[in-house]
């Protein structure tokens, strides 16, 4: 059974969710699907002549099958590099689900696959009563967990996986990202992740390899139904 959209969660900020999301987009496109990325909420955006822009959202846009309006990829773009609920409050805004859902549904209507990248970790606050985890819960999206291979990743991965399952979401799989090429006992840590996580590994991304070139490292069959 193929899956039209997935949510990319991370064990923390700065562990390569965007890199993994872009790599997954290229892998899906190589499999013959039309695919696009989405960053519903982004903080740390920059004002440009075209409007407010975020580097992660631009990377997702570049990795998508066809050019798209930026506002569909990133409907909520916040200036300050803070937790979204704080960045939004500083702008006098409250993040709500309806405009995010409208953009998501527009993307889903025109693509075989949509890769929705979260912001920060699983439980980052977006607004009063709304966490980042509220998006995959509301949209019933299976979750792929990105794990940055570095010291401490085992506990972060297990805690996040436990939270995903406890929130009633389906953990489809996990992707390991070699963010620390000097990590000691990296292969042993990977073996522990295989043993302890309640979902399959969809791939291990090498350090310093561009998404288009790393796409062959990912197994997209759980998404495409292949």
Question: Which residues are part of the catalytic machinery?
Answer: 39
The gap between the terminal CA atoms of the chain, to the nearest Å, is 8
Query: How many Cα atoms within 13 Å fall on the side-chain side of residue 35?
Result: 27
User: Which residues are within 8 A (CB) of 195 and not within 5 positions of it... i.e. 6 or more apart?
Assistant: none
> Among 139, 109, 111, 142, which residue's Cα sits nearest to residue 36?
111
Q: How far is 143 from 173, CA to CA, in rounded Å?
A: 7
Q: How many residues does the chain have?
A: 226
């Amino acid at each position: 059974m193929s899956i039209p959209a997935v949510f990319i969660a991370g064990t923390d900020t700065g562990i390569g969710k965007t890199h993994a999301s872009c790599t997954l987009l290229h892998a899906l496109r190589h499999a013959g699907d039309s695919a696009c990325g989405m960053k519903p909420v982004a903080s740390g955006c920059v004002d440009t002549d075209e409007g407010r822009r975020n580097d992660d959202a631009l990377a997702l846009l570049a990795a998508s099958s066809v050019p798209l309006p930026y506002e569909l990829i990133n409907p909520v773009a916040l200036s300050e590099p803070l937790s979204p609920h704080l960045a939004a409050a500083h702008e006098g805004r409250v993040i709500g689900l309806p405009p995010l859902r409208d953009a998501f549904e527009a993307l889903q209507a025109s693509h075989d696959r949509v890769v929705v990248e979260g912001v920060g970790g699983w439980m980052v606050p977006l607004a009063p009563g709304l966490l980042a985890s509220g998006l995959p819960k509301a949209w019933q999206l299976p979750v792929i967990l990105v794990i940055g291979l570095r010291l401490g990743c085992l506990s972060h991965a297990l805690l996040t996986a436990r939270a995903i399952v406890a929130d009633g979401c389906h953990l489809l799989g996990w992707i390991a990202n070699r963010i620390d090429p000097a990590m000691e006992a990296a292969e042993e840590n990977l073996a522990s992740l295989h043993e302890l996580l309640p979902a399959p590994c969809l791939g291990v991304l090498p350090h310093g390899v561009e998404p288009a070139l790393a796409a062959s490292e990912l197994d997209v069959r759980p998404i495409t139904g292949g």
